Each structure stands twice: as C-alpha cells, then as structure tokens.
Structure 1
Amino acid sequence: MEAFEEKMKAEGLSQAAIDAFRLNYEQLVAGVTGLVPEKEIEAIEELPRLADLRSKSVGDIKGLLAKTAVLKLNGGLGTSMGLAKAKSLLEVKDGKTFLDLIADQIEYTRTKFGSKVRFVLMNSFSTSDDTKEYLSKSHADLINEPDVELVQNKSPKVDAKTLKPATFPEDPEQEWCPPGHGDIYPSLLGSGMLDRLVDAGIEYVFVSNSDNLGATLDVDLLAYFAETKKSFIMEVAERTAADKKGGHLARRLADGRLMLRESAMCPDDDKAAFEDISKHKFFNTNNLWVNLPKLKAKLEASNGVLQLPLIKNKKTVNPRDSSSPPVFQLETAMGSAIECFDDSGAVVVPRERFAPVKTTNDLFSLRSDAFKASALTCYFAQGQGTAHQSSSKNVTEAHTVVLAAPKGPLVKLDDKHYKLVDKMDALTDAVPSLVHATSLTVRGPVRFVKGTSIAGDVLISNESSEPVTLPPQAYKDSVTDLTPAKVPATA
C-alpha cells in the first residue's frame, strides 16, 4: 500500500481519496468475496410510492430548494458508443445535448420557484475540460457559479500478478482508472466541497446520472426526504423480466439495514432466487437523496471513509490491447452507501425516472417521437407557496424528456453497423416514428429516411454488406427483407 500511497500523493490526490483506495485495496488483498447468500437477507415487500406522495402538501418548496443541491454524475466518456468526449455533450433531442437539457431543467426550477437551487457537475479527469468549455459557450451563467464542478478522483490500476501499482511507460495515463461513482463521497470530502456546502446551509443533495433525463428534481420527493429527516433515500423501480439479471434491494438480517445485492454478490446456488422478480421486486435507479450534514457526521465518525463493498474489475492495463498486462480496477458504487446508515430509506418511482442512455439502441429510441419534451402546468396555492400540477392552464416548459407512448419501444439495432454513434448517424437521415412501436429489430446496414413509421413488432433485414435504404412508408407487425437480388416481402 505504501507504493500506492506515494504514487497517489505525487498525483496530488487528497487524503480522503487515498484512504478510500486503501479500504478497497485491503479488501482485494484479503480476498474478500462480497458474496451475500439468500439466507442472510430478506426481500423487501412494500415501500412508500411516489404516486402516494403526490397527494400530500409539499409545504415551503422555495425554502427547501434554498437548502438543496442537484449533483449530476458527468464522468463518462461513452467509449462503448465510440465517443471520445463527455457523453453528456451528445445531441439527444431537438438539437440539444444532455447537458443543455440538464442546464435548462435547473434554470426552469429556479424560475418556477424563485429559489436558486445549487447545481454541481461531478466531472472526471477525462470530461472536465470538454464540459467546462461547452458550458462557457452555451450556459456561461452556470459555469461561473461557485462550486459548480466537483472533479472525480482517479485510482491507480493494480497489477493482477504482483498486486503492486501497474506501470505502462508507453502511456502513463493508462496506469489510472475511474474509481466508480462511489467516489462521490471521498471527492466531496477531500475537495472541501462538503464543508463548503454545509457551511452555506445546503442540507439536501439529489444525485443522478447525467445520461438519465428522467431524473429531474422532484419537489414531492424533496419534501418527503426533508420531512422524514432520513440520512439517505434511494429511488427504486419495480423489476421486470428484463431486469432479472441486475441487482436488487434487500434487507440484511444481521443488522436490519437496507442493502444492494448485485449479481456478482450472489452465490451460484442462489441464482434462481436472485432472478425471482416476484420475490426481489425492486432495483436501484441510481437516483439518490443524501442529507449532507448527516453524511459529514458519518464520515467524521468513520475516519473519513464509508465502508462500501469493493467492485473488482479485471482488465488489461491498455484496454485497447488485450495482450497488455492484466490489472485490477478497484471501484465502488454510490448506491451501496444505503447500508452505511441506520435510517436509510427507499421510494418506489415510475419507470420513466429511470431512462439512461447506455447504447445506441437507447439513443435511437430517445431521438424518436416515442419520447417528447414535456410541459408541466403549474399554479401556486396563495399564501402557501405550494406547487401543484394541472393539465389545463399556465403551461411552462420543464425541459424534461418523457415517454410519449404507452410503453417504450424495444429497439435492437445490429451492433456491427450501429453500435457506434457515428455509424448510426451515417445510416439515419431521420429516425422513424416509433410512438406506436412495440419492437424494432434491424439486421444488417439499413438506412432510415424521413417519412417512415413503425408500429407493433417490426423486423427489417439486409444480408448484404452495403447499406440499403428502407422505403419511407408505414410498417406494422411486419418482416421486411431489403437484401438486393431478393424480392422484398412484407407480411
């Protein structure tokens, strides 16, 4: 550990970052598996639901917002989609990027409630420059605010054979990796931002991913969080068959605390129970509410380190060269902090609050008419400062992207031709209408042009290597083969 500490200090990393890495490294060396058998937990049967909170008065929203910060995780490059810049700078809707929409949402909230809610972007060493440059041009008022940027730490990669610091003289930057979004806690502490926010009277922080446009600041959730005085609340959604491989919320029998159990934490003998969505009903949306004074007290009581479970990822030191030396990247997840507090809670939210863009399939769907920019109708009860929603008057644009269809379409584009954003864009002159689509499957290179609509379940294929344009028309519950020299058959 001494070699790692020396390396991290030379890089200018804080003591909080070093201490957090030390905990992870100690778990690695000790061979901690992190396995959580079914017999050690109980399933969560019922939780408060956001829909039920809507009917309650939310009180002095302006006062609550003055004590609130919105923190967006913005450290991802979107490399799996072929991006080399901050993922949040990707255009997603109506000519706007994720970052544009997030900034618009903040400005909307401030204008609507007359309260300057704080805004923080947690950038990584890879996204900081791009993000600040974009904000300075498009949203200069935000970039000039105090503490608008929290820079994520970086962790040294661990040589998988020696457990010493990995070295890669050809490109020393490859010796470092992101520490996972669990780094939010040592970053807040080590940067001094936690103290500055608390000293400025900020009590509540809403944390979410920048690629999840459904994760907006919800005043009903804020009011509930403040009223319950809990340290930590997680927004969860109901698992479906598509989510059975992912993690779930549970309660640990040993201490009665809520916890997250990911697939890697489940013994093989318990896989059937893990995937039983009728038993383990809820998954983490990664939308979190944290009480900052209580977080500060917890960190002070635990020597500046939250005891988060280790996530051990085995990679190669150069991720683009599988023959380069194997390394471990040590990470943590911010949602795991739910088990660090006796009074943690969870609220069941609608699925639309969890709409991350992880693949070009997600992006293709989001750019279609299956999603729209929402408009909320708001008025205030005189003398109470209480916000309500209505559907008939005083419409104001919320800059929120919401589902316009009964259910989001399942889009499966051919990875060989659409996995990277630039390749998808080259084949998409115009995204087809998907508002009535159940599923769209594309095999081979198919070019989409304006005037195309999809309804029901549609399969389109082209077995050749050259792109073929799909004739612009309506396709419903059909199979269309565009392969040249074949007679197109639409059933």
Structure 2
Amino acid sequence: MSAEGLAQAQQKMRDGGVSDAAIAVFSHYYEALEAGATGLIPEETIEPLLDPDRLEDVDVNDDAAADALSKTVIIKLNGGLGTSMGMDRAKSLLPVRDGKSFLDLIAGQVRQAREATGARLPLVLMNSFRTQEDSLAALAQHPDIEVDGLPLDFLQNREPKIRIDDMTPVDWPADPTLEWCPPGHGDIYTALLSSGVLERLLEAGFKYASASNSDNLGAVPSARIAGWFAASGAPYAAELCRRTAADRKGGHLAIRRSDGQLILRDTAQTPPDQMDYFTDEHRHPYFHTNNLWWDLEKLHAALTERGAVLGLPLIRNEKTVDPTDSSSPKVFQIETAMGAAIEVFEGATAIVVGRDRFLPVKTTNDLLLLRSDAYRLEEDGALRLAVDAAPLIDLDSRFYKTVGDFDARFPAGAPSLRAASSLTVAGDWTFGADVVVTGDASLDDADAPGTIADGVTLEG
C-alpha cells in the first residue's frame, strides 16, 4: 500500500499547488519513513559538545563587521499561530511591549541597525498560508522596511499528514485544512529555493543570511557576529547558549561518534528511555538557539546539486489528524529542523553567544516577563534584562494559559518584577495597577477568584 500511498500524497500536493522541489523533499522522507526510519539519535552514538568557541573571545575588525552586515539579509521564521497560547493568527502580531508586537519590534531593530551601520539589511519573513496576509498587513505599517527589488516574505510549504495504519494521506472532510501540516522549519531551505527568493538575494549582492524565530526578540541584527561568520569562511553556523535548569527541553548540538560531525538533537529525536541524558544540562552544557547564519552562495550550490533534497535528519511525529480529538485517525507528521543542516555542510561551526540573544516567548509566563520592568527596551530595539537575573514565573495554566485569559487578569499591565526572584500564582487572581512583587512571592489557590488591589506589594 505504501507505493500507492506515496503516489496519492504526491498527487494531493500537486493538486494543492505545492512546488516540485517540496514534493521531491517530501518523497525522500516518505520513503525513509516507509523503510522504518525513526529519526532517533541514541546517546551512545554521540559525544557531548563541551568546548565550542565563544563570541566574547573573538577579535572582529569593525570595518570587516560592517562590510559583512552590508551583505546580510535578516530572515525570520513567522509561520507559527501561537495556538498553544490560544491564538488563531500569527503569533508575531501579539503585543509585547507598549502596544508594539513582535513584528513592530523586529522592524524597529532592523531600522536601528540600518541607521547605525548604513547596511541595506533586508527583512524577509518565512510565512505560512495562515500567517501571510495578517503579517504583511502589519509590515505595511512600516513602509520604510521594504528593500527595492526584494520581497518581504516567501511561503513555507505544506505536506499531507500520513495515516499510520496504511501510509496514505489522511482524509478528513470535517475540516480539510487538518489534512495538511507544515514540514517543520527545516523547510526553509526548500522554500527559499523554490520561491526564487534565494536567487533574487544573490542577484542583489547579498552573501549571508541571519535566520531566527520571530518570537525571539533577542536575535537582533549583529555586525559583530556577521563579521565573525564572514571571517570564519564557514558555510553555516549556529548560535549556542549555556544551558541552565530552565533549558532542559531545548535541542542541543553534539558530536557524532562515527565521523566526528556536529549534529543537532531535538527532544523528538531522543529515545524516551534516554531523556535523562538529554535534559542533563551538565552532560550537554550548551543549547541550540535556532539563530543561524548561512553563506547564501554555498547554500544555493548545495540545494541545486542535490535537487533541493539536503537530506536533513527525519523527525517523525505521531499525532491524531484532529489534535483536539484523540479518537481521530493517528497520523505521521514528517518534519525536519532548520538547525539540523549543520551536519550537511562540511566546515559548519557554532559559536557561544550571550544569553541576551535568546529571548523566546513560548508561554504567558514569558510574556509577563517581557511586559514587565524586569526588561528594558534599548536603543537598538532589543529587550534586555534590567536586573541581574530574570525572575522565575509560574502562572496557573488553568487561568493564564491563553492570551485572552492572561490579559483579562492583568488589565492594568504587568506588575513590577524588578525586585522579584520568583512569582508563583496558584488559582484565579486578577492584578490591579501598580502592583509590586519582591523576593520569592506566591499566591495560593483560593475557593473563589481573588483580586490583588492597586498598589499592593507582594513580598516573598
């Protein structure tokens, strides 16, 4: 049935307007899946990466840095809907600071970098079909961001979900959109090529790309890192940060024992009985930020030589076609990770950067922090800590998980967290204006919803 299943999936993709390059990549992974590939990377096959280079130890010439940035494009992964936070549109449109969204702040970062360096510095989004219209409308509020002759975005591809029982593309008339899934952010390379954007960038004289997630406001344009990357001569580089106990779920780089190659391992690629190794921040002390740098000429050469199939490691996700209905058919979602390309390019490397370059918002806990005075908005458009260490936030997911519920309970904005070490909220509490949190503060669950009055100080 699998040969027929692949043919059905290919036809579904053609009928859906998916590019030939994306169909070729999907076919490669379908055949790997059919052959029994799991994508797992057991601990015994790798060695920890213990002593990578550090940006703070590197000498970068200012002129060389400016020259490298002048040849750099900023690419933001912008396909996420923020569904885990109850959103149904682009997550990057969520207000983060003073009413400004992720996209507003990113546009500001690019504008500031242009003014400071004179670089053209195009901003290009990788959108999904669900995020494109709203995101481009938001960028239209920043007309100076567009660079003549270059698009503001390109579209991530889509692929069919595959039934686990017979390896055919799933049929779900109740909601046909659920028959499709994104191929993971590893699709960025295929999408860049098939959209024509990669060649347009090269024709416009750009040589390097700095790619990162749109919900990571720490990944500001950096002439220093651009200069380091250009001087390295590497085709590809990843930014790493030192792991802490709060980073145990993040992917990490490791060294494959069989050939000494740097590789990326994510949670879904770790055998379940070896998760204690994966989450050990001492065994694997550096995590992968998903801030990447590419040599566009070398990327184009690799893609064209391989027919768009870079051969990134497979990530096999087992889901139900309707995530909200556990009784719906079980499906495979075939994905790849953008950062896994580190093992494709000979000479690929990594650099340890400051923690300020990793500031993702995955939950409303993170959102509360960024909206509070624990962070300040600096001249380069970056949000950076205004205190020695970020306080730990733990909001009761029953009442604060979605953005709507969260905003309803902080109607006057975030409390002051400058003097806080942690804030733990159990139960349903609504915060008034000018609330101040100090030390290790906590609110216990009560029989009924509670209110923290205006001006109250919560002391640990």
TM-score range, shorter-chain basis? over 0.9
* Distance change >3 Å, CA 161–CA 229, structure 1 → 2: same
Within a 5 Å distance, the mapping from 1:336-347 to structure 2 comes to 336-347=340-351
TM-score normalised per structure 2 = 0.94
Change beyond 3 A, Cα 1:37–1:430: closer
Q: Say whether residues 1:168 and 2:172 are aligned partners.
A: yes
Distance between the aligned counterparts of 2:274 and 2:425, measured in 1?
36
- Give the residue type in structure 1 aligned to 2:32: Q
Contact 2:361 / 2:367 at 8 angstroms: preserved in 1?
A: yes
Give, in angstroms, the shift of residue 179 of structure 1.
1.3
Rg bigger for which structure? Answer: 1
C-alpha RMSD of matched pairs (Å)? 1.7
- 2:453 matches 1:476: no
How far does residue 270 in structure 1 lie from its aligned partner after superposition? 4.3
Task: Give the Å deviation of 1:170.
Answer: 2.5
Which residue of structure 1 aligns with residue 42 of structure 2? Answer: 37
Q: For 1:269 and 1:320, how far apart are their aligned partners in 2?
A: 27
Output the CA distance in 2 between the equivalents of 1:267 and 1:232: 28
Determine whether 1:109 maps to 2:113. Answer: yes
Query: Whole-Å Cα distance in 2 between the matches of residues 39 and 434 of structure 1?
Result: 43
Q: Does 1:70 align with 2:74?
A: yes
Structure 2 matches for 1:9-20, cutoff 5 A? Answer: 9-20=14-25
Q: Is the 8 A contact 2:21 2:307 kept in 1?
A: no
Using the TM superposition, give the Cα deviation of residue 158 of structure 1 relative to its aligned residue in structure 2, in angstroms.
0.8
Aligned to 1:260: 264
- Equivalent pair of 2:66/2:223 in contact (CA under 8 Å): no
Aligned to 2:440: 457
Q: How big is each residue's C-alpha offset from its partner over 1:172-216, in whole Å with a ceiling of 9 and x where there is no partner? A: 222111111101011011111111211222110000000000011
Contact (CA 8 Å) 1:48, 1:348: kept in 2 or not? yes
Report the CA distance between 1:403 and its aligned residue.
1.0
SS of the residue 1:398 aligns to: coil
Partner of 1:200: 204
Q: Is the 8 A contact 2:433 2:453 kept in 1?
A: no
Q: Distance in 2 between matches of 1:317 and 1:274?
A: 28
Q: 1:128-139 to 2 correspondence within 5 Å? A: 128-136=132-140, 138-139=141-142
Structure 1 residues 57 and 181: CA distance shift in structure 2, 3 A: same
Asked if the contact 2:268–2:317 (Cα under 8 Å) also holds between the matched residues in 1, the reply is no
The answer on 1:3 being equivalent to 2:8 is yes
Q: CA deviation at 1:414?
A: 0.7
The Cα of 1:451 is off from its aligned counterpart by: 2.1
CA distance in 2, matches of 1:321, 1:36: 30
- Residues 132, 275 of structure 1: CA spacing in aligned structure 2 closer, same or farther, 3 A cutoff? closer
Paired residue for 1:438? 421
- Equivalent-residue separation in structure 2 for 1:364 and 1:237 (angstroms): 22
Does structure 1 conserve the Cα–Cα contact (< 8 Å) formed by 2:241 and 2:286? yes
Q: Residues 235 and 345 of structure 2 are in contact (CA less than 8 Å); yes or no, is this contact kept in structure 1?
A: yes
Deviation at residue 126 of structure 1 after TM alignment: 0.6
Instruction: Give the paired residue count.
Output: 453
**Cα distance change of structure 1 residues 318 and 270 upon mapping to structure 2, 3 Å threshold:** closer
Displacement after TM superposition at 1:168 (Å) = 1.3
C-alpha distance after superposition, 1:298-336 (max 9, x if no partner): 112222211111122222222233332222211111001
Name the amino acid aligned to 2:346.
Answer: D
SS state at 2:359 partner: coil
Contact 1:413–1:442 (Cα < 8 Å) also in 2: yes
Does residue 413 (structure 1) correspond to residue 417 (structure 2)? The answer is no
Alignment of 1:340-419 (within 5 A): 340-374=344-378, 397-419=379-401
The percent identity for this pair of structures is 47
Whole-angstrom CA distance in 1 between matches of 2:266 and 2:65: 36
Query: TM-score, normalised on structure 1?
Result: 0.89
The CA distance in 2 between the partners of 1:126 and 1:268, in whole Å, is 33
**Which stretch shows the higher mean deviation, 9-18 or 274-283?**
274-283
- Please name the residue that 1:378 is paired with: none
The answer to whether the Cα contact below 8 Å between 2:374 and 2:418 also exists between their aligned partners in 1 is: yes
1:428-478, Cα deviation, whole Å (9 max, x unpaired): 12311111211100011111112211111111124224343346322221x
Instruction: Spell out, residue by residue over 1:252-275, the C-alpha distance to the aligned partner (whole angstroms, 9 max, x if none).
Output: 122221001223333456444433
Equivalent pair of 1:316/1:326 in contact (CA under 8 Å): yes
Gaps of 5+ in 1: 375-396, 478-491
